[in-house]
Amino acid sequence: MEWNKPRLIELPRIYDPRGSLSFAQDNAQIPFEINRVFWIYDVPGGESRGSHSHKKAHQLIVATGGSFDVTLHDGTKSATFTLNRPFVGLYIPPGHWLTLENFASGSVCMVLDSTLFSEDDYIRDFDEFLEWNRVHDRIPTLP
């Protein structure tokens, strides 16, 4: 499997009459060691999150509640993924601009991250992102 390309990953589901359970473990379902987990919630209607890229971080984004869209840009093309199932995550390798938007009321966005927080890993200006991809000779990864 090519882990340099974004993709939806279906996570294991354990069904139980008392409620279902899903999980992700390092290198079993996802191609990186988890070093940080964070979640985004209480996003006001019409607001967006993200609008940045990572130089090194690999991420898996999961809608643990509700739904939202993730738009990715690889420097050439863009694609939008709707996340709305707690057992499906969007894997995002480094070098992709991401924006999270269209949050349904009560949505929770959980992010599994390969790195500890470092401001140096972020690119927060889109033109700088395009230049970074050009300098690093990045090959487009979106269909």
- Specify the pairing of strand 68-73 against strand 36-41: unpaired
Task: Report the C-alpha gap between 107 and 96 in whole angstroms.
Answer: 23
CATH number of 28-135: 2.60.120.10
Q: Do the beta carbons of residue 95 and residue 138 sit within 8 Å?
A: yes
Residue 118 has a pLDDT of 96
Instruction: Look up tokens 């990864």; give the residue.
Output: 141
- Specify the pairing of strand 49-54 against strand 36-41: unpaired
Residue 72: how many CB atoms within 10 A of its CB?
A: 20
Structural domain spans, the chain:
28-135
**Over the stretch 49-72, which tens digit does the pLDDT of each residue have?**
999 999 999 999 999 999 999 999
CB neighbour list of residue 37: distance below 8 Å, 6 or more residues apart: 110, 111, 112, 113
Q: Do the beta carbons of residue 13 and residue 62 sit within 8 Å?
A: no
107, burial (CB in 10 Å: exposed 0-12, middle 13-18, buried 19+): buried
Instruction: Tell me which H or E stretch contains 134.
Output: helix 126-135
**Over the stretch 126-140, which tens digit does the pLDDT of each residue have?**
999 999 999 988 888
Q: Do the beta carbons of residue 92 and residue 21 sit within 8 Å?
A: no
Residue in 52, 54, 58, 73 annotated catalytic = 52
Residue 2 has a pLDDT of 59
Instruction: Tell me which H or E stretch contains 89.
Output: strand 88-92
The amino acid at 63: A
- 73 as an active site residue: the answer is no
**Over the stretch 10-52, which tens digit does the pLDDT of each residue have?**
999 999 999 999 998 877 788 899 999 999 999 998 999 999 9
